[in-house]
Structure 1
Amino acid sequence: MSGPIRPPWAGPLGLYHPGTSVIHRAPAGLKLALLAVFAVAVVVVRGPASSVAFLGIALLAQLVARLPWHRTTRGLLPALVTAALVGAYQWWARGWATAVEVAADLVALVLLGAVVTATTRADTLLDVLARLARPLRHVGLHPEMVALAVGLFLRTVPVLARMSLETRDAARARGLDREPRAILVPAAVRMVAHARTTGDALAARGLGDD
């Protein structure tokens, strides 16, 4: 009997979800600029109180955007696990205040990033990134290639996550879920094969010939 069907993982940055909220209607460039300012503020402003406030801002943005919570929480799961582990270590090493600050900052950044990408079409987001990368022409980098690299990253993260889950399920079906090599080696082989296939597809389209 096969196990339950897993919904596709949206990755740490989520997937676009159509809507009519004020955040959906805001220009993509403005959203990216505000996200950058938010990230700088999270790094510069210290203390657990400010970190909780930043997390509250990210949660408020989630509510204003009216995004489905089940999609957001599924995409946030890796960040939540990481925040819990890092927070636990910081609590043991430096106290509860640092633990709250680090964990809340991490979740706030990932959540707001998920809100931005969930309310912005991928092609619009990549167009903005290409315009922002135009000064890189002076150092020999094509803005379109920079945008393509970002797009490939956003598409590859959920693919690699799905491969890891499928490899773990296959190992579990053989009773080898406690054997690291039965998971890591097949997963690495599949990821390398995916990377080579992607590279061959790009080369076939003449990308990167310059």
Structure 2
Amino acid sequence: MSQPSMVAVHQPGDTLLHRLPVGPKLAGLGALSLTIVLVRSAPASLLFLAVALGLALLARVRLPLLLTAARGVLLIALVASLVQGLFYGAGKAVETFVDLLALTLAAVVVTATTPVNAMLDALVRWSGPLRHVGVPPERVALTVGLAVQALPGTVALALETRDAARARGLGRHPRAYLTPFVVRVVARAHETGDALAARGLGDD
């Protein structure tokens, strides 16, 4: 089964973005995300998408990875754009769809050019002051890492469960999709918990 995970998409390389430290990359992603949210216009959205694609080309991110990321966010983007279009017109719908796609591709570029360990080490360093109030920085990094990993993995499970329901001719029956989806998500959570406990990471 194919289960795309944004944590597991790191592609070793020697591009400028690969050599850039974690901090500037995350700060750049945050700045781009904030700009996309604040600047509301369809032409600007196309510019943001062009920037995200340019960064992907600069980082030499593989096309299958970009297509997988786009597929993962496509359903959410379509629903959000339809809602915007219903209330504000076609222009707003296109803008919303392109904005979400640009954000997704920019995030993929960051994860593709940043090793997981480097990301977690940076989170541990930045969370250092929390140790003084009794919060272990290592657990903060672990929590963030698991959250980032779980989101795209859950999207993958949703897509696979939907496709399986359609293959059985049950695509129009919500229960045929939702029940196995919930079961698989809970099973994934138990597997993660058991793996952490086996490594002593769930102990107080």
Shorter-chain-normalised TM-score: which range? 0.7 to 0.9
Residues 153 and 172 of structure 1: CA distance in aligned 2, closer, same or farther (over 3 Å) = same
Over the matched positions of the two proteins, sequence identity in percent amounts to 46
Structure 2 residue 70 is matched with structure 1 residue 76? yes
Query: Pick from 14, 20, 26: which aligns with 1:32?
Result: 26
The 8 Å contact of residues 171 and 182 in structure 1, kept in 2 or not, is answered as yes
Contact in 2 for aligned 1:28/1:120 (Cα 8 Å): yes
> Does residue 15 in structure 1 map to residue 9 in structure 2?
yes
Instruction: Say whether the 8 Å CA contact 2:17–2:58 is kept in structure 1.
Output: yes
Q: Which amino acid counterpart does residue 115 of structure 2 have in structure 1?
A: R
Deviations 1:158-180, CA, capped at 9 Å, x for gaps: 54345445544554565444332
Residues 142 and 15 of structure 1, relative CA distance in 2, 3 Å threshold = same
TM-score by length of 1: 0.82
Alignment-derived partner of residue 195 in structure 2:
201
- The question of 1:108 aligning with 2:102 is answered yes
Which residue, out of 112, 130, 144, partners 1:136? Answer: 130
Q: Give the distance between the partners of 1:163 and 1:52, measured in 2 at CA.
A: 30
Structure 2 gap ranges (5+): none
3-state SS of paired residue (1:209): coil
Aligned amino acid, residue 90 of structure 1: Q
The answer (yes or no) to whether the contact 1:76–1:110 under 8 Å persists in 2 is yes
Question: Which digits, 9 at most, give the CA deviation of each residue in 1:160-207, with x for residues without a partner?
Answer: 345445544554565444332233222212321221232233234333
Residues 13 and 114, structure 1, Cα contact 8 Å, conserved in 2: no
**Aligned residue in 2 for 1:58:** 52
- Structure-1 separation of matches of 2:168 and 2:89: 43
Change over 3 Å in CA distance of 1:174–1:79 after alignment to 2? closer
Q: CA deviation at 1:30?
A: 1.5
The aligned amino acid for 1:31 is: K
RMSD: 2.5
Note closer, same or farther for the CA distance 1:140–1:39 as it changes in structure 2 (3 Å cut).
farther
Is the counterpart of residue 90 in structure 1 residue 84 in structure 2?
Answer: yes
| C-alpha displacement of 1:72 | 0.7
TM-score scaled to structure 2, two decimals? 0.84
What is the number of residues matched between the two proteins? 204
1:53 aligns to what SS in structure 2? helix
* Structure 1: runs of 5+ lacking an equivalent: 1-5
Contact kept? 2:158, 2:181, Cα under 8 Å: yes
